[in-house]
Chains A and B, each alone.
Chain A
Amino acid sequence: MAKDMKTPFLMGSLALGMWPALAQQQAVPADSVRTIVLQEVAVTTKSHSQQQHLQEFYQANRSATTEELIARMPEVSFIRRGSYGMEPTIRAYSPGQVSVMLDGMRLQGACTDKMDPATIYIEPLNLQGIEVQTAGAGSMQAAAIGGSLNMKLAEAELAGAPALSGSVSSGYQSAAQAVLEALRLNYATPTWGLRASGTYRKSQNYRNGKGEKVLYSPYEKANIALNAKYLLEEDLVLKADFIADEGWNIGFPALPMDVGEASARIGSVTLLRENESRRWSRLEARLYANRIAHAMDDSARPDLPVRMDMPGLSRTSGLYVEGSMAPAPNQQLTLRADASSSYLEASMTMYQPGQAPMYMLTWPNNRELQSGVAAQYTLQAGAKTQLQLNSRLQVSRFSVTSAAGRDQLSVFGYGQTRQQFVIPSVSVQASRVLYKKLKGTLSGSFNGRTPSASELYGFYLFSRFDGYDYIGNPALKPEQSLQGELTLSWQEPRLRVQLTGYASRVANYIVGAYEAELSAMTIGAHGVKVYQNEAYALLAGAEASAVYNITAYTQLVSTLRYGYGRSAGGDPLPMVAPLRSVSSLRRYFGDRLWVQGETEMAAAQHRTSARFQEKPTEAFMLWHLRAGYRLETEKKVWELNGGVENLFDAAYREHLDWGQVLRPGRNIFFQASMAF
C-alpha cells in the first residue's frame, strides 16, 4: 500500500490505521483498536510504520471539528443537540458507558445536560491522533463497558539543528457561514522543543436542507495549546502541556437553553523514558489537572416562563504511571497505575420578578476519588497466533462534599450518599491467521462501569429527549457487561476487508424509571424518573469496512455498521443508530490533485423505545464531493481543499439527533493552508 501512496503524509494529514501487520515482533495493535492519525508522528514516539494507513478517508473536511472527525469512524455515533457539543458514543452503548480520555487523562464535562463532552475542548490541531478501542482492550485506562475513546495530544519536536516550522490555515463553510483560522508554530532544537497552536472558529445559524435557518445553532470558540519538551537525559524527556479553550454562545436548537460560556484549562507534566535496551523499554509518569467552567444561558430564547442561570464546574486532578517491557522476545507487558479526583458542582437559579431567586444544586457538590491498576499482556505464539490479556481493577469512591448538597438529597430519604465501587475487568483476545490471508480475532471480556455523578446525585435534571426530570439514586449498583467480539479480516495487497460482530449483555443496566409519586420540577415536564438498575440489557451489532485500491491512483473505501439493543422487557433501547454506510471513491490526478466522491446512507430506524417516546427516523442518502490540490515548493507546502457536502440539499436528520432538528443542507467548504 505504501507504494500506492504517491502523496506523502505531512502535518495535518489524516489516516486510519485499521489493519495491524501480521506476525510482527513489536507491539501489534489489537484488532479492536482504531486510530485516526492527525499529525505525522515524530521519530521519538511509537512508530506507526506497521500500521497501514488508510488514505485520507477520514479527512472529510479539513475545517472539521474533533467531533466531526471522530464521527467518521464506523464504531462511533454522536448524540446531537446542537451543531457543536455533540456527545460521542461507541456502537449502541450510551455515552455514560464509554470512557472519553484525553491522552490517558480524565476530563469531565461540567454541564448537567451533557452539552460539553470532553471532545469539545480539544481541537484537531491539538491532537496527534484519536484512538477508539472496543471490547475489553478499552478498559486499560478507565472502567467502561462500551469501549474507550482516547485523544492523543500533539507534541513538540526535537531536531538536529534549531529549526522553526509551522502552518497557517483558513477555512470557510457556507451552510453556517462558518470560519476557521488556525496557526501552529514549532520550534525544535536538539535538547528542547516548543509547540504552540491557536484555533478560532465562528459559526452562524446554519441553513438546513429545506433552506430554513436553524435558530440557536451558532457557536464561537478559541483554543490555545502549548507543549514543551525538554531532553533531561539521552532517553528521558520532560514534557509539559497546557490547553486553554473558550467557547461562547454555543447554540443548542434541540434544547431549551444554549451555552453562554464554556471554558477549559487543561495542564499536565510528564516524564517519559523510552529506551529499547532497558528492562522497561517505556516508562511514563504524568501529573495532570484540569478545570472546566460551563454556564448555560437562555437569554437568546423568547417567551420562556422562567429565566434561569445554570452554571457548572468540574475540577479533576490525577496522575498515572505506565510502563512497558518485554519479559521475552515474543511477549509484551504493560502495567499502569492511576489515581484521580474529580469534583463536580452545578446549580440552577430561576428568576421571577418580585420573588426570592429559586436556587438549587443540580449536581450537589460531589467528588469521585478513583484509583486503578491495570495490566496488558501480549503473547506472540508463533507466526500465526497472538494472545492478549487485559485486566484492570478500579476502586471509585463517590461522596457529596457539602452539607447543603446532603440536605438537598435528604429530601428523597437518601441518608447515605457515600458510595464505593470496586470494578474489576478482564478481557482475553486471541488472533490467528486462519487461512492464507484470512485472519480471525476472537475476544471475550467482562467489565463494568460506575454510575455517573448525574445517575447518583442528579437533582431534577431535565432531559429534553423524553421530557422527564431525572433524579439520581446513590444506591445504584455498577453496571457489568459480558461481551464477545469476533473480527475477520481478509488482506490482499490491493484489497482489505474487515468484518466485526459483537454482542454484550449488560447486567444492572442503569435507566430512569418513572416515579408517579414525584412531581416534575421543570415546567412542561411529563414527570420524574429516578435512575434504577434493571436486570439487564442486550446490545449487539456489526461493522464492516473495505478498502480497495482499484488502481495506483484510485481508491474505494466503504464502511457499514449496524447496532441493535433491547431491554430485559424486550423493548428496543433508545438512541441506537440504524444501518449506516459511507462509501468514498478517490482518484488522484498526478501528485497534486485529487477528487473524491462520497455517499452516506442511513436506513430508517423504526425500532424505537416506547418508554422514551422516541420518534422513528426516516432513511436518507447524501452525496458529497471533495477535492484537494497541493503544491510543494522548496520550503513551503501549499494546500487547497474544498468541496460540497450534501450536494443535493437533502433535508435529513440522523436518528441520534434530538428534537427533530434537521441537519445542515448543502454546504460548500474550502480551506487553504500553508506549511513551512
Chain B
Amino acid sequence: MKNNTWLILWALFATTFLTTSCDTEEDTPEPATAYEKIAEGQTETAHLKVEVYATAALTTGYNPLYIALYDEAGKRVEQADIRLMPLMEMTDKKHAAPAESPSSEKAVAGYFPGAVVFTMPSGDMGTWSLTVQVQANGQTDKVTLPVTVQEPATPRLKSFVLATDGSKYFVAYLQPQEPKVGVNDMEVAVYRMASMMDFPAATDLTLELAPEMPTMGHGSPNNVSPVHTGQGHYKGQVNFTMTGLWYLHLTLRDTSGEAGNLYFEVNF
C-alpha cells in the first residue's frame, strides 16, 4: 500500500482545499442612528432649555421627534411630562396636526420620544410651529418653536374623505423605511380629523394591503394586511420580490364598510 500513500495524501490535501475555499456568509450590519437638531429654545419662564431632535429634516408625514430638556445648570432633565402641539398658521386660518406626545415621563437615554404628523409643507401658504409643553418639578412651562417642514420626494402622507359622514382621515407611512427585497415590516398610522385642532387616532379601521409594481403590472405574494396595534398604528407585512418602484395600495374600511383607497410609493 506504500505506493498509494501519495494518493491518500493528495486526496486529503484536496479535501482540505475544497472545504476551506467556501464563501463566508454575509451579515447585515446594524444601522447607526444619529439625531439631528431641528430646533431649540428657552421656555417662557426660561427655567428650561428645550431641544428638538429628529432623525432627518422634517417632512410632510410622520416625523419621530426626540425632546431633550436641560435645567438652568445645563443638566439634563430625565423626568417630565411633555406634550407636543404642532400648529400651522395661514393667512386666514390655522390648524393643528396629529401628534404623539411622549408616552412616558421618563427619558430614554436622555431623550423623550414622540412624533408629529405634519399635514403640509411650510411655505407661502403658512408656517409651522411646534409648541412643547413641559411639566417638570411641579411646574408647567412651554416653548413655541418655529419649524420648517419640507415636502418629501416621495409623498408619505395621504388623506381620504369618508362618503358617509364626510370626515377626513390622514394616513401616514411609517415603515418600511429601508425597504429590501424580501419580507418587510409595514406600518402606517391613521388619524381622523375631528376638528381643525383635534386629530384623534383612528383605531377601528380594517386595512387591506395590495402591493403592485406598476411598470410590470404584478404584485407580490403572502403580504399581511396591517392591523391596529395601538394609538392609530397599524402593523403588517409587505413583501417585495425585486427592487424598483412599488405601489402599496391600501383600502381602509370603517365599521360601516365604507372605504378609502390610497397608495404609497416605494422606490428602491
Interface residues of A (CB under 8 A from B): 271, 273, 278, 280, 283, 285, 287, 306, 317-319, 321, 339-341, 343, 348, 350, 352, 355-361, 367, 401-404, 406-413, 459-460, 517-521, 523
Q: Which residues of B contact A285 (CB under 8 A)?
A: 7, 10-11, 14
Among the listed stretches B157-165, B199-207, B210-218, which one makes contact with chain A, having 4 or more residues with CB under 8 Å of it?
Answer: B210-218
Q: Which residues of B contact A278 (CB under 8 A)?
A: 3
A-B pairs with beta carbons under 8 Å apart, 20 shown: A273-B3, A283-B4, A318-B18, A319-B11, A319-B14, A348-B242, A356-B245, A358-B213, A360-B241, A367-B23, A403-B25, A403-B26, A404-B26, A404-B180, A406-B182, A410-B182, A410-B183, A411-B183, A519-B218, A519-B219
CA distance A280 to B221 in the complex (A): 58
CA distance A413 to B224 in the complex (A): 12
Q: Are A359 and B242 also in contact (CB < 8 A) when A402-B26, A410-B183 are?
A: yes
> In the complex, given contacts A271-B10, A401-B23, A404-B182, what are 6 additional A-B residue pairs having Cβ atoms less than 8 angstroms apart?
A319-B14, A340-B18, A350-B242, A357-B244, A408-B181, A411-B183
A521 touches B216 (CB 8 A): yes
Q: Are A412 and B221 also in contact (CB < 8 A) when A285-B7, A285-B10 are?
A: yes
Which residue on B lies nearest to A403, using beta carbons?
B26
CA distance A352 to B217 in the complex (A): 13
Q: Which residues of B contact A413 (CB under 8 A)?
A: 222
Q: Are A339 and B10 also in contact (CB < 8 A) when A306-B216, A358-B216, A519-B218 are?
A: no
Closest 7 CB pairs of A and B: A407-B182, A358-B244, A360-B242, A411-B239, A319-B14, A359-B243, A519-B219
Q: What's the nearest-Cβ distance from chain A to residue B39, in Å? A: 33
Q: Which residues of A contact B217 (CB under 8 A)?
A: 523
Q: Which residues of B contact A460 (CB under 8 A)?
A: 241
Q: What's the nearest-Cβ distance from chain B to residue A124, in Å? A: 30
CA distance A411 to B4 in the complex (A): 52
B18 touches A271 (CB 8 A): no
A411 touches B26 (CB 8 A): no
CA distance A401 to B181 in the complex (A): 16
**B33 on the interface (CB 8 Å rule)?**
no
CA distance A350 to B242 in the complex (A): 10
Q: Which residues of A contact B10 (CB under 8 A)?
A: 271, 285, 287
Q: Which residues of A contact B14 (CB under 8 A)?
A: 285, 287, 319
A352 touches B11 (CB 8 A): no
A306 touches B7 (CB 8 A): no
**B256 on the interface (CB 8 Å rule)?**
no
Q: Which residues of A contact B21 (CB under 8 A)?
A: 317, 341
A352 touches B215 (CB 8 A): yes
Q: Which residues of B contact A317 (CB under 8 A)?
A: 18, 21
Q: What's the nearest-Cβ distance from chain B to residue A168, in Å? A: 38
Q: Which residues of A contact B11 (CB under 8 A)?
A: 285, 319, 321
Q: What's the nearest-Cβ distance from chain A to residue B103, in Å? A: 32
Q: What's the nearest-Cβ distance from chain B to residue A84, in Å? A: 30
B18 touches A407 (CB 8 A): no
**B15 on the interface (CB 8 Å rule)?**
yes
CA distance A408 to B213 in the complex (A): 16
B242 touches A358 (CB 8 A): yes
CA distance A521 to B221 in the complex (A): 11
Q: What's the nearest-Cβ distance from chain B to residue A311, in Å? A: 15
Q: What's the nearest-Cβ distance from chain B to residue A382, in Å? A: 33
**B28 on the interface (CB 8 Å rule)?**
yes
**B30 on the interface (CB 8 Å rule)?**
no
A352 touches B28 (CB 8 A): no
CA distance A261 to B147 in the complex (A): 56
**B267 on the interface (CB 8 Å rule)?**
yes
CA distance A518 to B6 in the complex (A): 56
Q: What's the nearest-Cβ distance from chain B to residue A233, in Å? A: 10
B243 touches A319 (CB 8 A): no
Which residue on B lies nearest to A361, using beta carbons?
B181
Which residue on A lies nearest to B219, using beta carbons?
A519
B245 touches A319 (CB 8 A): no
Within 8 A of A (CB), among B192-251: 213, 215-222, 239-245
B22-51 vs A, CB cutoff 8 Å, 1 = contact: the mask equals 110111100000000000000000000000
B244 touches A359 (CB 8 A): yes
Q: Which residues of B contact A412 (CB under 8 A)?
A: 221-222
A521 touches B241 (CB 8 A): yes
CA distance A619 to B181 in the complex (A): 48
Which residue on B lies nearest to A406, using beta carbons?
B182
CA distance A239 to B219 in the complex (A): 54
Q: What's the nearest-Cβ distance from chain B to residue A565, in Å? A: 31
Q: Which residues of A contact B220 (CB under 8 A)?
A: 411, 519
B171-183 vs A, CB cutoff 8 Å, 1 = contact: the mask equals 0000000001111
Q: Which residues of A contact B7 (CB under 8 A)?
A: 271, 283, 285, 321
Q: Are A357 and B221 also in contact (CB < 8 A) when A407-B183, A523-B216 are?
A: no
Q: What's the nearest-Cβ distance from chain B to residue A366, in Å? A: 11
CA distance A350 to B99 in the complex (A): 40
Q: Which residues of A contact B180 (CB under 8 A)?
A: 404, 407
A341 touches B267 (CB 8 A): no
A341 touches B241 (CB 8 A): no
CA distance A408 to B215 in the complex (A): 20
CA distance A633 to B100 in the complex (A): 98
Interface centre among B15, B181, B222, B268 (most CB of A within 10 A): B181
Q: Which residues of A contact B222 (CB under 8 A)?
A: 411-413
Q: Which residues of A contact B245 (CB under 8 A)?
A: 352, 355-356, 358
Q: Are A411 and B182 also in contact (CB < 8 A) when A319-B15, A403-B25, A404-B26 are?
A: yes
Which residue on A lies nearest to B181, using beta carbons?
A408
B4 touches A280 (CB 8 A): yes
B221 touches A356 (CB 8 A): no
Q: Are A403 and B243 also in contact (CB < 8 A) when A280-B4, A319-B15, A352-B215 are?
A: no
Picked from B18, B216, B268, the residue with its CB within 8 Å of the CB of A356 is B268
Which residue on B lies nearest to A359, using beta carbons?
B243
Q: Which residues of B contact A518 (CB under 8 A)?
A: 221
Q: Which residues of A contact B213 (CB under 8 A)?
A: 358
A403 touches B28 (CB 8 A): yes
CA distance A319 to B11 in the complex (A): 8
Picked from A273, A341, A407, the residue with its CB within 8 Å of the CB of B181 is A407
Q: Are A521 and B243 also in contact (CB < 8 A) when A278-B3, A403-B28 are?
A: no
CA distance A340 to B14 in the complex (A): 11
CA distance A303 to B4 in the complex (A): 63
Q: Which residues of A contact B242 (CB under 8 A)?
A: 348, 350, 358-360, 521
Q: Which residues of B contact A360 (CB under 8 A)?
A: 181, 241-243
CA distance A413 to B239 in the complex (A): 10
Which residue on A lies nearest to B240, using beta carbons?
A411
Q: What's the nearest-Cβ distance from chain A to residue B243, in Å? A: 4
B221 touches A367 (CB 8 A): no
Q: What's the nearest-Cβ distance from chain A to residue B221, in Å? A: 5
CA distance A343 to B11 in the complex (A): 21
CA distance A343 to B221 in the complex (A): 27
Q: Which residues of B contact A361 (CB under 8 A)?
A: 181
Q: Which residues of A contact B239 (CB under 8 A)?
A: 411
Q: What's the nearest-Cβ distance from chain B to residue A355, in Å? A: 5
A341 touches B182 (CB 8 A): no
Q: Which residues of A contact B26 (CB under 8 A)?
A: 401-404
Which residue on B lies nearest to A518, using beta carbons?
B221
Q: Which residues of B contact A348 (CB under 8 A)?
A: 242
Q: Are A306 and B18 also in contact (CB < 8 A) when A278-B3, A285-B11, A410-B182 are?
A: no
Which residue on A lies nearest to B182, using beta carbons?
A407
CA distance A283 to B25 in the complex (A): 37
A408 touches B244 (CB 8 A): no
A358 touches B243 (CB 8 A): yes
CA distance A271 to B10 in the complex (A): 10
Q: What's the nearest-Cβ distance from chain A to residue B152, in Å? A: 16
Q: What's the nearest-Cβ distance from chain B to residue A407, in Å? A: 3
B215 touches A411 (CB 8 A): no
Which residue on A lies nearest to B223, using beta carbons?
A411
CA distance A318 to B220 in the complex (A): 38
